Amino acid sequence: MKILMLSSTFPYPPSRGGTEIRTFNLLKHLNRSHHLTLLTQTHSGVTEDEIATLRQWVDQLVTFPLPEDSPPSSSFISLTSKIGRWLESWYKLTPPNVLHRYSPALQAWIDQAVGQRQFDVITCEHSVNEIYIRPEWRSQIPSVVNVHSSVYGWTRQHLEMGASAHVWRDRLYLPLLRHYEHRYCKKFTELVVTTEDDRNELSQTWENARITIVPNGVDVELFPQRTHDPGGHQLIYVGAMDATHNIDAVRFFVLQVLPILQQDYPDLHFWIVGARPAASVLELQTHHGVKVTGAVDTIVDFFHQATICVLPLRTGLGIKNKTLEAMAAGVPVVGSDRALEGLVVDGAACPLRALRANRASEYVAAIRRLFEHPELRQQLSKSGRSLVETDYTWERVGHQYEQVLWRSQVQ
Please answer whether residues 377 and 370 qualify as being in contact, where contact means their C-beta atoms are separated by less than 8 angstroms.
Answer: yes
Does residue 375 share a domain with residue 289?
A: yes
**Residue 227 in domain:** no
Cis peptide before 72 (omega within 30 of 0): no
How far apart CA 152 and CA 175 sit, in angstroms, is 8
For the ranges 67-76, 371-380, 393-402, the lowest mean pLDDT is seen at 67-76
- Alpha-carbon distance values, 163 to 150, 245, 250, 357 (Å): 17, 7, 12, 18
Does residue 159 share a domain with residue 40?
A: yes
pLDDT for 246: 94
How far apart CA 408 and CA 411 sit, in angstroms, is 6
**Residue 239 in domain:** yes
The pLDDT of 336-356, averaged and rounded, is: 92
- Whether the pLDDT of residue 271 is over 90: the answer is yes
Q: Which residues pair with 308 in a beta bridge?
A: 235
Please answer whether residues 246 and 266 qualify as being in contact, where contact means their C-beta atoms are separated by less than 8 angstroms.
Answer: no
397 — pLDDT class (breaks 50, 70, 90)? very high
Q: How far apart are the first and last CA of the chain?
A: 16
Choice between 91 and 161, residue whose per-residue pLDDT is larger: 161
How far apart CA 226 and CA 221 sit, in angstroms, is 12
Does residue 253 share a domain with residue 202?
A: no
Please answer whether residues 122 and 111 qualify as being in contact, where contact means their C-beta atoms are separated by less than 8 angstroms.
Answer: no
The pLDDT of 222-250, averaged and rounded, is: 94
**Residue 222 in domain:** no
Average pLDDT, the chain: 91
Does residue 208 share a domain with residue 92?
A: yes
Does residue 399 share a domain with residue 387?
A: no
pLDDT digits (tens, 9 = 90+) for 304-313: 999 999 999 9
- Whether the pLDDT of residue 70 is over 50: the answer is no
**Residue 261 in domain:** yes
Does residue 404 share a domain with residue 387?
A: no
Query: What length is written for the chain?
Result: 411
pLDDT digits (tens, 9 = 90+) for 33-46: 999 999 999 999 89
% the chain with pLDDT above 90: 69
Please give the sequence-ordered ranges of beta strands (E in DSSP) within 260-306, or none if there are none. 269-273, 290-294
Longest dimension (CA), the chain: 69
75 — pLDDT class (breaks 50, 70, 90)? low
β-pair type (121-125, 2-7): parallel
In terms of C-beta density within 10 A (0-12 exposed, 13-18 middle, 19 or more buried), how is residue 9 classed? Answer: buried
Please answer whether residues 344 and 350 qualify as being in contact, where contact means their C-beta atoms are separated by less than 8 angstroms.
Answer: yes
**Residue 223 in domain:** no
- Whether the pLDDT of residue 371 is over 80: the answer is yes
Q: How many domains does the chain have?
A: 2
Choice between 326 and 78, residue whose per-residue pLDDT is larger: 326
% the chain with pLDDT above 70: 95
* Nearby residues of 195 by Cβ (< 8 Å), 6 or more positions away: 213, 215, 317, 318, 319, 341, 342
pLDDT for 82: 65
Does residue 166 share a domain with residue 115?
A: yes
Q: Where are the alpha helices (DSSP H) in 32-95?
A: 48-55, 75-92
pLDDT digits (tens, 9 = 90+) for 278-295: 999 999 999 999 999 999
* Structure-derived torsion over alpha carbons of residues 32, 36, 42, 47, reported in degrees to the nearest 10: 40
How far apart CA 27 and CA 5 sit, in angstroms, is 8
Does residue 403 share a domain with residue 344?
A: no
How far apart CA 270 and CA 301 sit, in angstroms, is 15
**Residue 224 in domain:** no
Nearest to 353, CA basis, from 374, 335, 372: 335
Phi and psi at 96, nearest 5°, equal -60, -35
How far apart CA 113 and CA 60 sit, in angstroms, is 13
Task: Kindly report the CATH number assigned to the domain that includes residue 106.
Answer: 3.40.50.2000
- 3 state SS of 273: strand
Does residue 401 share a domain with residue 289?
A: no
- Alpha-carbon distance values, 327 to 144, 353, 355 (Å): 30, 8, 12
Does residue 240 share a domain with residue 173?
A: no
Residue 182, domain extent: 2-217+394-408
- Alpha-carbon distance values, 287 to 77, 238, 282 (Å): 40, 18, 10
Does residue 375 share a domain with residue 329?
A: yes
**Residue 153 in domain:** yes
Does residue 179 share a domain with residue 86?
A: yes
Phi and psi at 215, nearest 5°, equal -70, 180
Q: Which residues pair with 193 in a beta bridge?
A: 148, 213
**Residue 20 in domain:** yes
- Alpha-carbon distance values, 389 to 173, 193, 263, 348 (Å): 40, 21, 38, 21
